[in-house]
Chain A
Amino acid sequence: MTLKFLPSERLQDLLEELSRNRKLIVPAKSEAMILFQDFGEDVHLDLANLSRLSAKEAAFPQTETLLSFGYEKETESSEPNKVALQCEPKEKETIVFGLRPCDARAHLLLDKVYLDDRYPDPYYGARRGNLTLISLTCARPQKTCFCTSVGGSPSDREGSDILLTQIEGGFLAEGVSEKGKNIIALNLFQNSTQENEEQAEAVKKRAAESLTLALDLNGIEKRLMDNFENELWSELSAPCLNCGICTYVCPTCHCFNITDEQRGLSGQRIRTWDSCMYPLFTLETSGHNPRSLKLQRFRQRFNHKFSYYPSLYGEFLCVGCGRCILSCPAGIDIREVLKESPMHRGAPRRMKIGLFSREHLER
């Protein structure tokens, strides 16, 4: 680990240096919200508060083109038609500065899906390979934070290229990856002192101690499966509006749609964020929908995060950022679902819904 110190007065210089010939994204205040925005003169950097949306767009944009196509003639034409394709995964060096360690770690969870051995995703891969994450120790976790319950911490280095910790007069910078070490080798950084390091340790310790909630997620993967048909899902999902907020503000949700958008003879095949909360997500051409009910869609989100993903990759698909809790218009709290949910309320009651007996519940 390489340690350096960045004086506060050199922060602006650093950001300008980092934005040279690259895309630099920073959390900035826009009206009442913090959003990740392109660095520039009019941007009001805000490192103190949690951004409304996560930083996942840098690697997984809400809309991206997978390929362009062009027809030789009108598709209605009666003559045989030819089509040509073009595609080039975009590669632009991008730095996200000032994201929370939880948001940085989320990228590792996305990597497992998108950069698997079997079908590595070239679009995600191109972006991810060119992405540098400079995160900032979360000095003041808020009421909705629960990173320590899902394997992270307010000063987690996992997934970050550099971890900054704000201390007196500046930031202690830890170079985690080679990319990060190269950046903190810049002249803007000074050698750190023992005092700097001690202060940073104190900040980290204080932050960790402020997170008092500890969810008991031991064995949850199996417990969720054992309670798949527990009636409690119906109760828990009742307030849900089935909007996409929780999945769109989430740094780890990664489901998408692919659609074609055509004008005239040419068009694009695009990939856009999608959500397991939407009925159309799983609606089949025949009209059959394996998740036609709200409770099924609601259950899918929690099961995916705390049972299916862990069974495939050995980790929860959640970093505990708490954004879904903050933004849910119906006040659904993921911690409550996990804490109070089926498994803690005695023997499962069975719903009359299942493999081949659900017809009477279909809409």
Chain B
Amino acid sequence: MKEVESRLKEEVKKILDEVAYVVGYQEGLTPLSARPLFIRNPKEVDRLVYNDFCAPNLANYVKKSDQKIGIDQKVGLIVKGCDCRSVVQLLQEGILKRENLILIGVPCRGMISFKKIEKLFDPLETYLAEVRDKKLKVHLAQGEESYHLEDVVFEKCLWCETREPLVVDIMIQGPLSLELEQKEKDFDIVELEQKEPAELFDFWTAQFEKCIRCYACRNACPLCYCQDNCLADTRQPHWLGQQTDALNNFMYHMIRAMHVVGRCTGCQECERVCPVDIPISKIFRKTSMITQQLFDYIPGMKVEDVPPLLTFKKDEKF
């Protein structure tokens, strides 16, 4: 991955003159985290990193910036395979302008989930972390520990079908797989579906009781772009109360489910950012499973595709 990182830096330097900035990654709080970096000049390229901890989906930063980058201004964006699907979806929906994007594709072999490792050890007490020999190796105060990758990568990485970005201007070649044991797509949802309806309702009620309505899931979603007009907090129309209780929180998440249905590319940013660990992407992925079956459509795959719920055909039947 070090080699990928240095080639990435070279490519970023080459395009800096053409763009307002390039959105990439820099070191985060721990050796197991990375965070967005906005690169405006060659000096800032030094801070750029790319490794197995670069989970954030940077596609969210085009459109949702004060400068409306990617729309009014040309921007460079570093995309993994899954992130690129968000870009494709936004292009399908006419939100971004292709000519204002320089997409730099990076290889991804599966990203480490901070939420998963938090359950195993304290990432704040970690001095060094790397992926080697199909293991996550970390140096903790008590010595080196290693973990099976299957246990620490995002679920989406276990069934990933788009390790290589579909639409790019520049592709950095590199390892695309950790040869993990692949799981069936959305196996976790299939598991959840085994529950009785009442049991399932209890499961979600308990989850939504935790929700603090911080709207991080919404704001981190590249496809949620209504901004100040979101039904969740506007009073016109007044569709749900501001009370943070299971019922109103349920309503909030259902509104989001209705709005991303058939559009959600399953990037799981909503889940990654949730401060109270609600497995919220399951709802959005489930609704996408339904639209996939009904319309034979997978979101974010081809720029020319037309999202089924953004169109209407006279001969459509149900």
Contact = CB atoms under 8 A, between A and B. Distances in A.
B245 A331 contact: no
Main secondary structure of the interface of B (DSSP, over half): loop
B38 interface: yes
Contact of A329 (B61, B66, B220, B245): B220
B212 A62 contact: yes
Contact of B118 (A32, A257, A273, A293): A32
Contacts of B213: 244
B235 to A, nearest CB: 7
A52 B35 contact: no
A329 B277 contact: no
Contacts of B215: 243-244, 278
Given A143-B124, A144-B29, A241-B219, A327 B275 contact: yes
Contacts of A33: 276-277
B233 A331 contact: no
A89 interface: no
B36 A239 contact: yes
Contacts of A243: 214-216, 218-220, 273
B28 interface: yes
A33 B36 CA distance: 25
B227 interface: yes
A31 B277 contact: yes
Given A245-B216, A272-B243, A329-B220, A259 B235 contact: yes
B60 A63 contact: no
A310 interface: no
Contacts of A31: 277
B276 to A, nearest CB: 7
A261 B273 contact: no
B242 A272 contact: yes
Nearest to A49: B122
A213 to B, nearest CB: 13
A248 B36 contact: no
A241 B66 contact: no
Contacts of B234: 280
Contacts of A237: 66
Given A143-B30, A249-B275, 4 more contacts: A237-B66, A238-B65, A259-B242, A326-B29
Interface of A: 31-33, 35, 52-53, 62-63, 142-144, 234-235, 237-239, 241-245, 248-249, 257, 259, 261, 270, 272-273, 275, 278-280, 283, 293-295, 325-327, 329-333, 361
30 contacts: A31-B277, A33-B276, A35-B276, A52-B275, A53-B275, A62-B212, A63-B244, A143-B124, A235-B38, A238-B36, A238-B61, A238-B65, A241-B64, A241-B273, A243-B218, A244-B213, A244-B215, A245-B216, A261-B243, A272-B243, A273-B244, A278-B215, A294-B65, A329-B220, A329-B272, A329-B273, A330-B35, A331-B34, A331-B36, A361-B66
